[in-house]
Structure 1
C-alpha cells in the first residue's frame, strides 16, 4: 500500500494564547471533506515555530510544510505580520494510506 502525506491548516489572529484557544476549538470541529474525522485529530497541542516571524503567508506555509511531520504529536504555528495584520498559520501533517 502506498502512503502519502497531507496537511491540515487553519488561521487565526491574536497572540499565541489565542492560537492555543483556537486550536482547542478546531479540534472539536469535523473536517469539511471528511465528517467522521475531527480537525487536527491526534495532535495534542500547538507549538510556535521558533525563531522567525514571516511577512508573507506563502513563505510561512512553505516553511511549515518543510518541518511538519506526520509522526509529530503536535501542530506548528507560524506568525505572519504583513504590515496590516498579525496572523498565525497553524499546520499539522498526517499520513494517509490508500
Structure 2
C-alpha cells in the first residue's frame, strides 16, 4: 500500500516567518532517512502504510517547541500504487 501524506505544521504565535520550524522538521526527516518534498504550502511524504504516515506526523509534532501550533494533514491511501509522489507530478506535466 502507498499512503501519500501532505502535511503543514506551524506555530500560531511568535515569528511571522516559519522557515526555522520547517527546516527543523525537514532535518528530523533527513536524520531518519525519510524522503520529503517541500512545496510552498506544505511538505509531501510517500509512506508504505498508514502506521508509517502517522510516525512521520509524530516526528513533525515532536519537533515543535511552541506553546501552540497547528497541524494540517491530508492522506491519499492507494493500495495498488507505489511512487505516487513522483509519478503523479510527471503524469500531470505530460498533459501540459
- Alignment TM class, shorter chain as reference: 0.3 to 0.5
Larger RCO, structure (CA 8 Å, separation 6 or more): 2
Specify which structure has the higher proportion of helix.
2
TM-score, normalised to structure 1, is 0.32
TM-score, normalised to structure 2, is 0.32
Specify which structure has the higher proportion of strand.
1
